[in-house]
Amino acid sequence: MNGFADRGLSEDDFGETKGGLKAFDAFPKTKPTYLTQTQSGANWTLLLLVTCAWLSISEAMRWWVGTTSHTFSVEKGVGHDLQLNLDIVVAMRCQDLHVNVQDASGDRILAGETLKKDHTRWQNWKGGHALAHDANSLAAKYEEEDVHDYLGAAKKKKFPKTPRFRGTPNACRIYGSLEGNKVQGDFHITARGHGYLEFGLEHLEHNQFNFSHVVNELSFGPFYPSLTNPLDNTIEYTPTPDDHFYKFQYYLSVVPTVFTDTSSTIVTNQYAVTEQSHGVSEVSVPGIFFKYDIEPIMLTIAEENGGFLALLIRLVNVVSGVMVAGGWCFRIGEALVEVWGKRNKRSDGLGVLHGRSTSLDEKRGL
């Protein structure tokens, strides 16, 4: 006889020993009647289920949004044309301004004949913000948009209309797109009769100079007005109304950029800008100058999300990992509680024995 029978126990109560294929189970299961349900076990199970649900939802949302990668590479091929999109308001009359583009190849474009000029009032265009002069403030004002925002904005390609005004016009809105060579160049706005020696061009009085301006749009490549560029909605003033000879200079580094996802792709350009402004003498040429340079690299911003099978594999890994780790943590916690309980019982038991021995000693008169 074994020791189980002496205590009224039977091996039949543990697992399945017969009854068809269940008899071949290599891992006999404990009967449900021998499972102890505790409050701590139920709470721990609920915590694990909530954790699995939260991590699974987070993983599914991350898969739905996708991941964005930035890749730099040498630009392939040779580009010959570059479209420049401009929408700027200068606090001078249109007939007093001269707009021109000149690039490193020696070509000169009379931008004033290509771009549109609308009379307006300066008071209607004061909603812009000043251009940041340090990297931290620039990052606060300009943040890269999501790839989907770029792809969605590519559907709009029209300049807004010039708002109506009352009174005498005292400003000029210059806007439109023009084609140039894809090389280093300068786009500048100067006063009539200053900066160029042209026959029959009337000289403008110096006290009428005011190159305060608002840049509503400045971009390169296809015109997508909904995209955010560093100079968009920026405003610059001359320090005082008496600073007629004032020069604003912008230095732009243009980087060809490709935005792509699983369904569509757009090719455009991004740029970084630094700015400086200062007063000049009467022998110099005041105005607004944009100097741009084309970088020989290409930035590809791609958004992609893995297949549905990859999502299922990640979800299985997350759930199984939480369950396994949670089970180990629960067992370790139960073992520590059990050890701590035995230690306390041992301490209480020693205290009782000590007390009995003391009482016997007192009876004996010790």
SS3 317: helix
Instruction: Show the DSSP H helices in the chain as ranges.
Output: 3-6, 39-65, 111-114, 135-141, 147-153, 308-363
How many angstroms separate the CA atoms of 129 and 214, rounded?
A: 9
Interval 141-153: pLDDT, tens: 445 556 656 666 6
- Kindly report the average pLDDT of the chain as a whole number: 77
pTM of the complete model: 0.64
* pLDDT tens per residue, range 322-333: 888 888 888 888
First-to-last C-alpha distance (Å) of the chain? 52
- What's at 169, amino acid-wise? P
Output the CA–CA distances (angstroms, integers) from residue 307 to 31, 53, 58, 70, 313, in the order listed.
Answer: 42, 21, 16, 20, 10
- Mean per-residue pLDDT, 12-29: 54
Domains of the chain, by residue range, sit at 11-65+307-348, 78-133+149-257+272-297
> What DSSP character marks residue 129?
B
Q: Label residues 83-98 b or e (16+ Cβ within 10 Å = b).
A: bbbbbbbbbbbbebbb
- Residue 13 or residue 270, greater confidence: 270
Instruction: Name the residue with higher pLDDT: 151 or 165.
Output: 165
Cα–Cα dist 190/97, whole Å: 6
Is 350 strand, coil or helix?
helix
| CB contact at 8 A, 269 and 220 | yes
User: Taking the mean position of all CA atoms in its chain, how far away is CA 9?
Assistant: 67
